[in-house]
Amino acid sequence: MSDQLNDSYDAVVVGGGAAGLNGALMLARSRRSVAVIDAGSPRNEAAEGVHGLIGREGMAPGELLERGRAEVRGYGGHVAAGAVASAAGRAGGFVLTLEDGRTVGARRLLVATGMVDELPDIPGLRGRWGRDVVHCPYCHGWEVRDRAIGVLAGGPMAVHQALLFRQLSANVVLFSHTTAAPAGEEAEQLAARGIRVVEGEVAALEIAEDRLAGVRLADGRLIAREALAVGPRGRPRAGFLAGLGLYPDQHPQGMGEHIAADAAGRTAVPGVWVAGNITDPAAQVGASAAAGALAGAQINADLVAEEARAAVEARAQARPGGQVSDEDSDEAGAVPEPGRPERV
C-alpha cells in the first residue's frame, strides 16, 4: 500500500526503516503533517529476525516495518513508495524530486535512507550474507555461538571484531587476507585469547549442503569454518543530498562513509536531520529507532520555535504603526535559512 503524496508537508522523511518510521511517528503524534518516502530496500532484509530490541526480539524485519507503517498512518502520516532522485532548497524549506518525476515540498527533512554494505569480492561470500556470513556479534552472535568462526580482516576494527566473537565461541580464527598480520599489543591480545591468525589471501568460501564448510586460501589451504564474520565498508544512500551541499565523510572508525551530524541528528545544512545507519553505521535497529525518535522531536521543536518567532513578528506588525518592540525583537530572534550549509 502506498499513500498519495500531498504537495508539501511540515516534514518529509526519506527512508522507511526503523529510524525513519520512528521519526515520522514522533512528528505525526505532534500533529505535524509528515510523509515517509521509502525505496523499499532495508539494510537488514537478508536477516531472519531483529535482535536486541525488547518486546520485538526475533521478529522478522518485514513484519516490524509493516507494523511501523500502520502506526504512522494511524496518526495521520503518509507512507509512500518511491526513491528520491534530487533535493533542492527553496524559500521556507526544500523540494524533493522522485525518480518517477513526482515532487514534494517540505519545511524540514529527516533523511534515514541507511547504507549499503559493500562486501569483499570473494566467491561464495555474498550468497551467504545474513546467514552464516555475518558482521555484527550483537545482531547474529547468539545464532553462531559455539561454532567454528572465522573473522575476515578488512580494516582497523578486525581485531576488535575477533575479540567480540571470541566471547561467543572458543573456536575463532582471524584471516589476515590482504592486510598485514596483527602485531604488538593486538597480537598479544589475540594470542592470550586463543585466537589463531591465518595469513594469506582468501580465495573463496566452500559451501556444502547449503552451509558454510570452510574458507579456501589462495595457496590451496582449506580452513574449516561454520561461520564467517566480515567488516563491510558502508556507503550511505545519500547521493540526492548533493543538491543541498551535503556529502558523505569518512567514518572516524574506518567503517566507510557516513553523513556527519551532531548527537541529535542535525547536519551542517539547516533544516536537514539524519538518523540511523546513514550517520551511524554500527547502530542496530533499536538504536536507529531511538535516533529517529530524537530527530523527530528535534524537528518538531525547531518548527515550534520558527512558528513562535513568526507569531511574535505578526503580533508586532499588527500594532499601530507596525512598530516592533524591543521585547518582540528579542523573542523573534534570528531564523537560519533552510538549505544553506553551515558547520555543525
For 15-68, the DSSP string reads: --SHHHHHHHHHHHHTT--EEEEE-S--TTTT-S---S-TT-TT--HHHHHHHH
Helix (H) or strand (E) holding 189: helix 184-192
Domain containing 218 equals 120-229
> Is 1 a domain residue?
no
Quick one: DSSP state of residue 266?
B
Which of left, alpha, beta for 209 (phi over 0: left; psi -120 to 50: alpha)?
Answer: left
Are residues 139 and 225 located together in one domain of the fold? yes
* Residue 83 grid coordinates: 526513491
Residue (of 207, 126, 129, 140) closest to 169 by Cα position: 140
**pLDDT for 265:** 97
Are residues 245 and 300 located together in one domain of the fold? yes
**pLDDT for 303:** 98
Are residues 138 and 207 located together in one domain of the fold? yes
**pLDDT for 331:** 47
**pLDDT for 328:** 53
**pLDDT for 343:** 45
User: Order of strands, edge to edge, in the sheet holding 202-208?
Assistant: 202-208, 211-217, 222-224
Contacts of 188 (CB under 8 A, 6+ apart): none
Instruction: Judge whether 299 and 93 are in contact, CB under 8 Å.
Output: no
**pLDDT for 252:** 87
Are residues 200 and 260 located together in one domain of the fold? no
Q: What is the pLDDT of residues 138-174, one digit of tens each?
A: 988 999 999 999 999 988 889 999 999 999 999 999 9
Are residues 12 and 108 located together in one domain of the fold? yes
CA trace torsion 258, 78, 294, 95 (10° rounding):
50
Pairing of strands 115-118, 233-236: antiparallel
> Is 151 a domain residue?
yes
Long-range contacts of 259-265 (CB under 8 A, 24+ apart): 259/111, 260/344, 261/344, 262/344, 264/294, 264/295, 264/298, 265/110, 265/291, 265/294, 265/295, 265/298
Mean pLDDT of the chain: 91
| CATH code of the domain containing 12 | 3.50.50.60
**pLDDT for 137:** 93
Instruction: Judge whether 88 and 266 are in contact, CB under 8 Å.
Output: no
- Count up the domains in the chain and report the number: 2
**pLDDT for 326:** 57
Which of left, alpha, beta for 82 (phi over 0: left; psi -120 to 50: alpha)?
Answer: left
> Is 333 a domain residue?
no
Which parts of the chain sit beneath pLDDT 50?
331-335, 343-344
* Distance between CA atoms of residues 114 and 43, nearest Å: 7
Q: Is the pTM of this model over 0.75?
A: yes
**pLDDT for 320:** 80
* 163 to 129, 136, 187, 228, 240: CA distances (angstroms): 21, 12, 11, 14, 38
Helix (H) or strand (E) holding 288: helix 285-317
